[in-house]
Every structure is written in C-alpha cells, then in structure tokens.
C-alpha cells in the first residue's frame, strides 16, 4: 500500500489478536492437518503437549487473515485521505519459520511485524523487496511463532534508475 521509499526499516505494526477455540482447531485439523495432537484429545493427552494443540498452519492462517484485514484497512484510510494506494506483491515467500510453543484452546495470540531490511532489485530497479520479521505472542508474553516474510513493492515513480 506504500511505495518502497516510504517504508522504514525498524517500523513495527500490530495486526491484531485472535483467541483460538477448540471448535476452530478441530475444524482446521480435520481439513488440513490430520494429526492426533490436533484431532484426538485422548491421544493428545499422551503427547508431551498434554492436550489438543492448534495446527501451526492454523496459526499461520490467522496471521494471514489479520494481515490482509490490516492492509485493507490501511488502504481504506489512505484513500479516505486522498493518498495513493500502491498494490503489494507478489510475495517471494517466507523463511526461517519457527513454531516455538504450542497453542491450546483459549490461548490468545497477538500478531505483529517489524520491517527488518529492504533492497532494490538490480534486475528490476522499479521494484524493491522488503523483509518483515513476523511474530505471534501469547497472552503470557511468550513468543509462539516467528518467521521472515518478504514482499515486493513498487518504487515511487521517477526514483528508479535503470
């Protein structure tokens, strides 16, 4: 939603929080991650987690849902202020994904991202890549999820040199 030049390394944004329910955890696991620790309470109690835990992919899906809502809302605010809204994307992927703690029913995760780095593409000087350090922290202040995301952003017209 911003031009590459408008993005400052070190800037952070909080996307929101989400409380996980057993119903959504089971629904997601039934469709996308059919492991006993996500589906079967008796089997999960025998695991080192002691109960059903959310699929890590569900924690990522919630991140994406909150991120998209955040970007949409920011775009709406920019439009309302009469400012340009620059499309984001595509994403060249993510790296260093870590699920550090289990997420159980009733846990609330707060998701945020910090701009870690940015670089101009040598082959496409009209674009830059931005690196985001993303995390989810639970209600106890414990980091549950981390990963580095990437996004491609347009450069402000007239700033790219070939």
List own/partner pairs for 53-56 with CB under 8 A and 24 or more apart: 53/25, 53/102, 53/103, 53/104, 54/20, 54/25, 54/28, 54/102, 54/103, 54/104, 54/105, 54/107, 55/25, 55/28, 55/29, 56/99, 56/145
Which domains occur in the chain, in start order? 4-20+59-154 (3.10.129.10)
Q: What is the pTM (predicted TM-score) of this model?
A: 0.89
For 63-109, the pLDDT digits (tens) are 999 999 999 998 899 899 998 888 887 888 999 999 999 999 999 99
Does residue 2 surpass a pLDDT of 70? yes
For 15-24, the pLDDT digits (tens) are 999 999 999 9
């Amino acid at each position: 939603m911003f031009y590459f030049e408008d993005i400052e390394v070190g800037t952070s944004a909080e996307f929101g929080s989400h409380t996980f329910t057993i119903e959504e955890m089971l629904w997601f696991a039934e469709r996308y991650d059919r492991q006993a620790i996500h589906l079967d309470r008796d089997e999960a109690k025998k695991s080192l987690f002691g109960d059903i835990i959310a699929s890590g992919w569900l924690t990522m899906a919630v991140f994406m849902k909150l991120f998209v809502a955040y970007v949409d809302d920011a775009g709406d605010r920019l439009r309302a202020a009469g400012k340009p809204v620059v499309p984001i994307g595509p994403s060249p992927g993510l790296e260093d994904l870590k699920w550090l703690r289990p997420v159980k029913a009733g846990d609330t995760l707060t998701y945020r991202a910090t701009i870690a780095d940015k670089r101009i593409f040598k082959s496409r000087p009209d674009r830059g890549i931005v690196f985001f350090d993303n995390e989810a922290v639970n209600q106890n202040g414990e980091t549950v999820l981390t990963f580095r995301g990437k996004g491609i952003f347009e450069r402000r017209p007239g700033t790219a040199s070939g």
